[in-house]
């Protein structure tokens, strides 16, 4: 009772703002206001066979299912969700969007037979500077909603690569080739792994990470989820 009252008073004097529109959030709202939450440009890939994400990955890695929550446009107002998550010390955005994504996917049976959730890792240098792995926060939100455990240390990023932002597809593929190592392949023998990324652009990082799993143990099955598919 006292804690709830304190929280209410604190919110009155230090209100949170919607990451998308900047408007003040109500007590019941997190990260986004209800209007922005309703208007988030969902793309419902999980309801479509051979959706654009699956076509992007087709023929490059074996996968069971692949889906994204929304199309990501760099100059769209919703891009602030990803920017703030990665660069403004807002890990709560990742957890929130992970829960939202899980809610979206659960009705379609997307999580059936998935054993573990594995976020794409950051190199220790980038993890140290950022303070957290944004994909791990997304995975936490997915896990809260789905009940599927997260294995945050199953894959290790062994090379500190340059940013992918200004690179074309071929450069991105070379930049992330052979940079991941599976630390405990015996733990996921014959398991179905859900690999989590924040934004997929060319798919280079996701493909490299998935390849490391399959090369470590060919019995592993992989599905893929990202918050955004870049356009």
**pLDDT means over runs of 10, the chain (231 residues):** 45 70 93 94 77 89 92 90 95 96 90 96 92 97 96 91 60 71 95 97 92 95 95 84
Strand order in the sheet with 66-72: 66-72, 221-230, 192-200, 116-119
**221-230 and 155-157 beta bridge pairing:** unpaired
Residue-level pLDDT at 169: 60
What pLDDT does 120 receive? 95
Q: What percentage of the chain's residues is helix, strand, coil (to nearest 5)?
A: 40, 15, 40
How many structural domains are present in the chain?
Answer: 2
**Domain identity same for 34 and 49:** no
Cα 191 to its chain centre, rounded Å, is: 20
Q: Residue 183's pLDDT is what?
A: 95
Provide the 10 A C-beta neighbour count for residue 68: 26
Say whether both 70 and 179 belong to one domain: yes
Provide the pLDDT for residue 164.
52
What string of DSSP letters covers 87-130?
A: HSS-HHHHHHHHHHHHHHHHTTTTTTT--EEEEPPPPHHHHHHH
In a shared domain, residues 72 and 186 = yes
Query: Are 172 and 204 within 8 A, CB to CB?
Result: yes
Shared-domain flag, residues 105 and 79 = yes
31 and 72 belong to one structural domain? no
pLDDT number for residue 185 = 94
The pLDDT of residue 172:
57
Work out whether strand 116-119 and strand 192-200 pair parallel, antiparallel, or are unpaired: parallel
Give the pTM. 0.86
Evaluate whether 161 touches 178 at the Cβ level (below 8 Å). no
CA quadruple 146, 152, 153, 159: dihedral sign: positive
CATH number at residue 74: 3.40.50.2020
**Distance between start and end Cα atoms, the chain:** 47
The partner residues of 108 in beta bridges, in order of sequence, read none
Q: Which domain holds residue 15?
A: 1-39
pLDDT reported for residue 13: 40
Cα 89 to Cα 175: distance, rounded to the nearest angstrom: 26
């Amino acid at each position: 009772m006292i804690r709830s009252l304190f929280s209410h008073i604190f919110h009155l004097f230090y209100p949170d703002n919607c990451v998308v529109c900047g408007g003040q959030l109500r007590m019941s709202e997190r990260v986004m206001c209800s209007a922005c939450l309703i208007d988030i440009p969902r793309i419902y890939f999980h309801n479509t066979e051979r959706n654009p994400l699956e076509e992007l990955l087709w023929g490059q890695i074996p996968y069971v299912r692949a889906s994204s929550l929304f199309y990501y446009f760099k100059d769209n107002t919703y891009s602030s969700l990803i920017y703030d998550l990665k660069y403004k010390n807002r890990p709560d955005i990742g957890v929130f969007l992970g829960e939202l994504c899980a809610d979206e996917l659960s009705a379609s049976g997307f999580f059936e037979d998935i054993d573990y959730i594995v976020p794409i890792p950051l190199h220790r240098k980038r993890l140290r500077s950022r303070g957290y792995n944004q994909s791990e926060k997304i995975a936490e939100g997915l896990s809260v909603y789905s009940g599927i455990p997260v294995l945050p240390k199953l894959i290790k990023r062994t090379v500190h690569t340059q940013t992918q932002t200004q690179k074309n597809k071929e450069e991105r593929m070379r930049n992330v080739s052979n940079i991941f190592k599976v630390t405990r392949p015996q733990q996921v023998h014959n398991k179905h792994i859900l690999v989590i990324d924040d934004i997929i652009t060319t798919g280079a990082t996701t493909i490299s990470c998935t390849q490391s799993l399959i090369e470590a143990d060919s019995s592993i099955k992989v599905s893929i989820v990202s918050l955004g598919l870049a356009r």
